[in-house]
Chains A and B, each alone.
Chain A
Amino acid sequence: MNSTRRTPRDRDRAVARLRSLTIGTTVVSLAAVGAFGAVAASSYSSSIETVTAAVSTTDTSTTTTTDTTTLQATPAPTAASQSTAQATTGSS
């Protein structure tokens, strides 16, 4: 059998090639996962009925009721003298 003796330089070259192959495989795998995810997300989102098209100015809402466990109390009102009020509360 005619064999060639490998030098340390040959070994380093082989290790470098193996490393580049490993990295390449990882990159390709990640790309495949990403592409698969994008396709899945696209398919998924297309199954969701969207009704927000006509609403373009409503994403600036302000949360005013942050306590989810109790209704928020405030100091009791005082009786005002019979001067003209600034507003009327009542049903509408």
Chain B
Amino acid sequence: MTAIATVNWQAIGTGVRVVVHGGDLESARSAVDDILASADLAYSRFRDDSEISRLNARAGQRVAISALLAEAIDVSLRAARLTGGAVDPTVGRAMRLIGYDATFERIRDGSGPIELRFEPIPGWQAVDLLPGRREIRVRAGVELDLGSTGKALAADQAAVAALAASGARGILVSLGGDIAVTGNPPDGGWKVLVAEDSEMPVDGPGEVIAIDQGAVATSSTTIRRWRRDDRTLHHLVDPRTGAPVASPWRTATVVAGNCVDANTAATAAIVMGEQSISWIETTGLTARLVSTVGEIVRLGGWPDPLDPTAVASTSPASGTASAAT
């Protein structure tokens, strides 16, 4: 049996967890750190010296960008296209207007009300990533926020980098609950506790699933919440209004071939509301939705822990939904 080793730390404003199946743990951690440092410098909206902050300050102009930022923006535009704009990188201004203008620790502890303003977001068509992907023009007044897909992209890249650096058989990387795995899984697969809060201990209560490849990501309106102007707000913005989305779902978890797609679908599921069930079924993805009253809907072959045949079943059941409370 190959040894499993784990390390946890805090970076880019979230919890980082790396699990190594064989291989050198410290090398894996170092590789992940390098990826996160690059991602932070390229597309953190909360750093004045990041590329995206300076790009946002130059909206309306043609701007040269690094390969990493180009890829992150390209990924976000793809997410917007594939979700009909439900997941859209032009939410930066809307996020700022609802008070999400600093790292979440500062928002949560922020003092004093602000005047809330909601306005529809410009939409991803306002972003013109020019051929060759090294220059971009963003319409004047538009601010980009890659928060939804950026962290997931970093998880995908970190897993690949950690596998190469550590010589491991397999790697799991979790960035605040966005989980990417690569290489060979341990016996029985990578076991993942499905929760609403990524800080839930791994031996906490809840469903445990096993995956051999790909990724798992969760979006929720229950965690990053804050109060402004006597209103409770959260970070998932409805592109049609610019306000925090009012969805029948409070949490969505999706398993996909990579973390970007898992995160994209999970976020879109909440934003799309009732329509998300039929949309997810068209994607062929596996998902678990939790309604605002705690009802659980399983889609695309998500295993029911109360069904003994679900254990060790590996065949995806497309287009099936089951609900439980």
Contact = CB atoms under 8 A, between A and B. Distances in A.
B51 A52 contact: yes
B258 to A, nearest CB: 5
Contact of B300 (A76, A78, A86): A76
Contact of A52 (B65, B216, B304): B65
Interface of A: 47-52, 54-55, 57-65, 68-92
Nearest to B186: A86
Contact of A74 (B41, B195, B210, B214): B214
A77 B211 contact: yes
Nearest to B195: A90
Contact of B301 (A58, A70, A76): A76
A73 B216 CA distance: 11
Given A61-B68, A73-B285, A80-B209, A89 B193 contact: yes
Contacts of A87: 17, 19, 172, 174, 179, 190-193, 202
A79 B195 contact: no
A-B pairs, top 8 by smallest CB distance, nearest first, are: A92-B176, A72-B257, A76-B301, A91-B220, A74-B214, A58-B68, A90-B198, A79-B303
Interface residues of B, number: 111
A38 B135 CA distance: 19
Contacts of A70: 82, 283
A61 B49 CA distance: 20
B253 A89 contact: yes
29 contacts: A48-B64, A49-B64, A51-B55, A51-B64, A55-B41, A57-B41, A58-B42, A59-B66, A61-B70, A64-B153, A64-B260, A71-B264, A71-B283, A72-B257, A72-B258, A74-B215, A74-B257, A76-B300, A76-B316, A78-B209, A80-B191, A81-B208, A86-B190, A87-B202, A88-B204, A89-B179, A89-B253, A90-B251, A92-B224
Contact of A79 (B14, B19, B34, B207): B207
A57 B38 contact: yes
A49 B58 contact: yes
Interface in B182-196: 186, 188-196
A69 B255 CA distance: 18
A85 B177 CA distance: 13
B192 to A, nearest CB: 5
B311 A88 contact: no
Contacts of A86: 4, 6, 19, 172, 186, 190-192, 202
Given A58-B68, A77-B255, A85 B193 contact: yes
A61 B15 contact: no
Contacts of B304: 79
* B-side interface mostly: mixed
A65 B199 contact: no
Contacts of A84: 191, 202-203
A64 B157 contact: yes
Nearest to A92: B176
Nearest to B174: A87
B37 interface: yes
Contacts of A59: 66-68
Interface string B1-20: 00010100000001101010
B202 A88 contact: yes
A65 B75 contact: yes
A62 B217 contact: no
A48 to B, nearest CB: 5
B114 interface: no
A81 B118 CA distance: 45
B210 A78 contact: yes
A61 B212 CA distance: 24
Given A64-B157, A85-B203, 5 more contacts: A59-B67, A77-B210, A87-B179, A87-B192, A89-B192
Interface centre among A57, A65, A91 (most CB of B within 10 A): A91
Contacts of B100: none
